[in-house]
Amino acid sequence: MTELFGIPMPVLSGQILLGLFNGAFYALLSLGLAVIFGLLRVINFAHGALYMMGAFIAFLLGQWLGLPFWALLVVAPVLVGVFAVAMEKLLLRHVYGLDPLYGLLLTFGVALVIEGMAQYMFGVAGKPFSQPQALSGVSMIGGMILPHYRVFVIVVALITCLGTWALIERTRLGAFLRAATENRPLVEAFGVNVPVLLTATYAFGALLAGFAGVMGAPVFQVSAFMGSNLIIIVFAVVVIGGMGSIGGAIASGFLLGLCEGLTKVVYPEAANIVVFAIMAVVLFFRPSGLFGKAA
Amino acid sequence: MQSTDLYIRPDLGQGARRLPLQALLLAAGLVALAAAPFLLYPVFVMKLLCFALFASAFNLLLGYVGLLSFGHAAFFGGAAYVTAHSVKVWGIDPVAGIALGTLAAAVMGAAMGAIAIRRQGIYFAMTTLALSQMIYFLFLRAPFTNAEDGIQNVPRGHAFGLIDLSQTLNMYGLVVAVFLVGMFAIWRVINSPYGQVLKALRENETRAVSLGYRADRYKLGAFVFSAAIAGLAGATKALVFQIATLTDVAWQMSGEVILMSLLGGVGTLAGPSVGAGLIVTIQNYFATTGFPVNVVLGLLFILCVLCFRSGIVGELAKRARR
């Protein structure tokens, strides 16, 4: 079969792959947002900026030290995580307990500063970042074109998401985390150091964003504003999925990436807005989101 | 009183004592408006007034209903597009153009509000941001907006077919009139029984609902009104600068208007105007230095949230009350 609904199979499969590829980024970022929001009650507007930061750190380390991609994939997110620790301790800590809107505004301010400084130091032009040699090839399977790097990103993102899900839902540390989300004073009374847990959670969320940034660097150009448009789509994903569940964040990330990819095949003009349109429809019929509990 | 909310609670019972001061400030403001075009660069003052009205419209929603809209640029910029197109291409009267832009903003507000008010708090903010981004892409694609170029060289025309708006002072007069009408409308709404219900919703929605108020209708009404006034400001700005571009509908603009309100004082009548004045001045200053103004705005955001959440006017009001 070479056609489905009048659309050539290679085009369709290519867009499905591309959709899942974009969905991998949505999933990684919305997962980080959900983890952070779950415990800190802060919507991390700086998430897009941290994503950009991961890409930039990878770019710079690659240039200066000539580190291979595999090393960058570890080092850059860790550095973003370190930055996030400082950010949490210096700034975010002061807005816990206030109206959650303050957290949004604070992190929005941080995002403006990070992106503005990146623009100031590196200009607005995108920086090229080459794919790792080992993954630059392309395979053909039954008429489907599979660029290795894209498949790699989808698989790695899926593993990371599932790992995070397992960490939170299936381990003792995750149990503390969930308990602290439900009833913080009680968990503190049991001797768990909640402030450290908060810092670690924020750093972990940021690390995920930085990780996504490094993976995005070879495909999307590394530029100061690469994260700012992405984060708005991710917000829509989060609204659709509801932030109540980790699994919901992951599933809706991939799902919406897929929807976007398919829209590109059927009606390319609407590809930019399809996620927002789905959000509007979902809000209309299920105000608490697809996977959310009633707020 | 240690308040953790975004707004300052009204100080009931002290209004009578403060009234002469307010009247004095109002008179001083009117004198300043009359003198400004002769002391400052008139286009700068007009820009400032447009943003002051825009910020006041935004503040109506955040300060008096407790809804943080992250999508007000859609109304500001959307109205600018409609006015610019109708005046330039259809050749209608500039005042009618402004009215049409305002109407368009109100319609967009009704559509966006109907969806957004289904969620509260933080979700409301994210929803409005996402919806305004959708509107941004629609304007990017729409055939009449010329994508990146925007609608340029919009003629100012003759107001009511008589007053030549290409004369700077005439244009200034129109902007002042629009500003005063808009501010009066906001003031009137805040101090009406309707405004009291809005404040009740902000303070305790569950209780207001239990008293029989239909929260959603009140919120939607406030959203549409706020969108319309934001549109009025954007429509006027399109005539002042004779241009409507994507900058006005982009999310950065929504962020700026939040900062203006926050800096000046959320929930105060004059605060957003003060904040708008400061931000526009800062932007004008940094536009010449090459240093990204966003860094400064970001630092101001951080400073406002961490150190003075009541804003400039809010802090002053607190001190005056002591």
What percent of chain A has a predicted confidence (pLDDT) above 90?
A: 51
Best mutation target among B247, B294, B304 (most A Cβ atoms within 10 Å) is B294
Contact between chains at A232 and B130 (C-beta distance less than 8 A) = yes
User: From the CA of B211, how many Å to the nearest CA of chain A?
Assistant: 21
Size of interface A-B (CB pairs under 8 A): 128
Determine if residue B236 is left, alpha or beta; phi over 0 gives left, psi from -120 to 50 gives alpha, anything else beta: alpha
Best mutation target among A30, A102, A121, A230 (most B Cβ atoms within 10 Å) is A102
Which positions ≥6 away from B15 have C-beta within 8 Å? none
* Number of domains comprising chain B: 1
Over range A150-162, report the average pLDDT.
94
Residue B13, domain member (yes or no)? no
Number of C-alpha atoms within 13 angstroms, CB side, residue A136? Answer: 8
User: From the CA of B309, how many Å to the nearest CA of chain A?
Assistant: 9
Spatial distance between the Cα atoms of A237 and A232, rounded to a whole number of angstroms: 9
Residue B151, domain member (yes or no)? yes
Tokens standing for residue A253: 């990330």
Q: What is the pLDDT of residue A257?
A: 94
Nearest by CB to residue A232, choosing from B119, B133, B299, is B133
Ranges assigned E (strand) in chain B: 158-159, 163-164
Contact B255, B275 (CB under 8 A): no
User: From the CA of A93, how many Å to the nearest CA of chain B?
Assistant: 10
Q: What is the pLDDT of residue A292?
A: 65
Contact A166, A247 (CB under 8 A): no
Angle in degrees, 0-180, between the axes of helices A100-122 and B251-264, rounded to the nearest 10? 120
Residues of chain B found within 8 Å of residue A294, distances taken between Cβ atoms: none
Tokens standing for residue B23: 């009247």
Nearest CA in chain A to B292: A116
Nearest CA in chain A to B141: A269
Ranges assigned E (strand) in chain A: 3-4, 7-8, 138-141, 144-147
Comparison of pLDDT for A49 and B24, the residue scoring more: A49
Tokens standing for residue B110: 């009704």
Spatial distance between the Cα atoms of B272 and B51, rounded to a whole number of angstroms: 9
Distance of CA B218 to the CA centre of its chain: 19
Contact between chains at A238 and B126 (C-beta distance less than 8 A) = yes
Over range A263-288, report the average pLDDT.
86
Q: Determine contact: A111 vs chain B, CB below 8 A.
A: yes
Lowest mean pLDDT among A2-6, A42-46, A165-169, B9-13: B9-13
Spatial distance between the Cα atoms of A74 and A71, rounded to a whole number of angstroms: 5
Residues of chain B found within 8 Å of residue A117, distances taken between Cβ atoms: 292, 295
ipTM of the complex: 0.88
CA distances from A76 to A206, A215, B78 (A): 11, 11, 40
The CA-to-CA distance between both ends of chain B, in Å, stands at 11
Q: What is the pLDDT of residue B1?
A: 36
Residue B80, domain member (yes or no)? yes
One pLDDT digit (tens) per residue for chain B, 322 residues: 344 455 545 444 444 455 677 788 888 888 888 888 888 889 999 999 999 999 999 999 999 998 999 999 999 999 999 999 999 999 899 999 999 999 999 999 999 999 999 888 888 998 999 999 999 999 998 888 887 888 988 888 888 888 888 888 899 999 999 999 999 999 999 999 999 999 998 888 889 999 989 999 999 999 999 999 999 999 999 999 999 999 999 999 999 999 999 999 998 889 999 999 999 999 989 988 888 899 999 999 999 999 988 999 998 888 887 7
Contact between chains at A280 and B131 (C-beta distance less than 8 A) = yes
Number of C-alpha atoms within 13 angstroms, CB side, residue A271? Answer: 16
Q: What is the pLDDT of residue B165?
A: 86
pLDDT band for position A3 (50/70/90)? low
Q: Give the pairing type, strands A144-147 and B158-159.
A: unpaired
Spatial distance between the Cα atoms of B12 and B79, rounded to a whole number of angstroms: 37
Q: Determine contact: A225 vs chain B, CB below 8 A.
A: no
The residue segments making up the domain with residue B150 are 41-250
Residue B125, domain member (yes or no)? yes
Residue B72, domain member (yes or no)? yes
Residue B6, domain member (yes or no)? no
3-state secondary structure of A274: helix
A190, burial (CB in 10 Å: exposed 0-12, middle 13-18, buried 19+): exposed
3-state secondary structure of A144: strand
Q: Determine contact: A290 vs chain B, CB below 8 A.
A: no
Residue B300, domain member (yes or no)? no
